[in-house]
Amino acid sequence: MIQEQSARIHGKRGAGNPTLIVAWSHDAGGIASSVIEFLDKKLGLEPFGEIEPVGFFSLDGVRIEDDLIQFPESRFFSPSSANNIIILHSDAPSREHYRFLNTILDFARDNFKVKELYTVGGIVSASAHLSPRRVFAVVNGRELKGELAPYGVELDVDYRTPAGSMPTLSSFLLWVAKRRGIPGCGLWVNVPFYLSALADPIASKCILEVLDRKFELGLDFRELDLEIAKLNEDLEQLMRRDPDLSRHIQMLERGIALSEDEGEKLAQEVAKFFLTKAPG
C-alpha cells in the first residue's frame, strides 16, 4: 500500500481500469515531454495526484531555468476527454529507485486499478532526419505482444531498455511491474543524434500515432505536421548553406557511418543554427 507521505491525490478522475502512460523528463529529443505537451493541447490534461519528492530526489541539485528554480516533479494527469488512460510525467529519481517505482504502481493500482502500463521515450541513433523513424515495443510479457502487432511497431519480448536510451529506469519499471503481475510495454523511437538535444516532432508523432490508434484518442496531427514541415525546411536551408553538412547527412541517409569529428561537427552546427533562429 502507498505510504501517505510518498503519494497523494488532490483531484478526481473518471472510470477505473485505465492504462498508465509513464513519461520521463529529459530523454533524447525531448520525446516524452513533447508527447505529454501535445496530449495536453489536444485532450486537456488535468492534474490529480503527485509523488512527493522528499526521499526520492536530491534537492541540493535543483535545476535553474530562466532564473527560476525547477524542483523535481512527479505528477499524475487525467485527460478530460479520455477515460481509458492516466499519465505520469516525472523527473527521474536520484535515490530509492525501487521504492519510487513501487510507489507509482501502488498509487495507480490501489486507487484506479490500472490494468497495464506503457512508457514512452527516445533513443539516440546514427540516422538522418529524412530517414524513416522506427518505433520499438519492448514488453515484459506476452500479454501485450498480440495487442501491439497491428500498430507498426517492432516487437520484442524483453524488458531491457534499448541501447542509447534513458539508463534502465523504464526497463526497471517494466521489471517491477512484471513481478507484480502488471503487463507493461516500453515504446521507443529513434532520434537522429544531431536532433537529440533539440526537438524531433517527427519522432514525437510516431509515438503519438501508436497511442492514438491503441487508445482511440482521436488526435488531430495537423499542427504537428506543420512543425515537421518547418523542421525539414530549416534543415534543408542549412544543408544548402553548408555543403559539408549536406554531404554528412546524405551519408547517414545511405547508412554510411560518420567519423567522430564529422558527427560532432554536424551536431554542433545544427544546434548553432537553431539557436540563432530561436526567438529573442
Total of domains in the chain: 2
At residue 96, the pLDDT reads 87
Do 215 and 230 belong to one domain? no
Do 118 and 235 belong to one domain? no
At residue 18, the pLDDT reads 92
Tell me: pLDDT of 166 over 60. Answer: no
Domain range for 212 is 7-221
Do 251 and 128 belong to one domain? no
DSSP states of 172-200: HHHHHHHHTT--EEEEEEEEEGGGTTS--
At residue 237, the pLDDT reads 94
Do 256 and 157 belong to one domain? no
Task: Report the CATH number that the domain containing residue 205 is assigned in CATH.
Answer: 3.40.50.10900
Do 196 and 229 belong to one domain? no
Residue 1 lies in a domain: no
The residue out of 221, 241, 258 marking a domain boundary is: 221
Which pLDDT tens digit goes with each residue over 44-80?
Answer: 999 988 888 777 877 665 554 554 555 678 899 999 8
User: pLDDT category, 218, cuts 50, 70, 90?
Assistant: very high
Of 10-14, 100-104, 112-116, least confident by mean pLDDT is 10-14
User: By percentage, how much of the chain surpasses pLDDT 70?
Assistant: 85
Of 97-111, 135-149, 239-253, 260-274, least confident by mean pLDDT is 135-149
Residue 50 lies in a domain: yes
Residue 73: burial class (beta carbons within 10 Å; 0-12, 13-18, 19+): middle
Do 212 and 250 belong to one domain? no
The residue out of 179, 205, 221 marking a domain boundary is: 221
Phi, psi of 95 (to 5 degrees): -155, 170
Do 227 and 242 belong to one domain? yes
At residue 91, the pLDDT reads 87
DSSP states of the chain: ---TTTEEE-S----SS-EEEEEESS-GGGHHHHHHHHHHHHH-EEEEEEE--TTTS-GGG-EEETTEEE---EEEEEETT-SSEEEEEEPPPSS-HHHHHHHHHHHHHHHH---EEEEEEEEEES--TTSPP-EEEEESSTTTHHHHGGGTPEEEE--PPPTTSSSSHHHHHHHHHHHTT--EEEEEEEEEGGGTTS--HHHHHHHHHHHHHHHT-----HHHHHHHHHHHHHHHHHHHH-HHHHHHHHHHHTTPPPPHHHHHHHHHHHHHHHHHHS--
Whether the predicted model's global pTM rises above the 0.75 cut: yes
Which pLDDT tens digit goes with each residue over 105-140?
Answer: 999 988 888 999 999 999 899 999 999 999 999 899
Do 259 and 145 belong to one domain? no
Do 158 and 237 belong to one domain? no
Do 121 and 172 belong to one domain? yes
At residue 150, the pLDDT reads 87
At residue 161, the pLDDT reads 53
Do 200 and 62 belong to one domain? yes
Mean pLDDT of 151-170: 65
The residue out of 221, 236, 255 marking a domain boundary is: 221
Residue 2 lies in a domain: no
Tell me: pLDDT of 4 over 50. Answer: no
At residue 62, the pLDDT reads 52
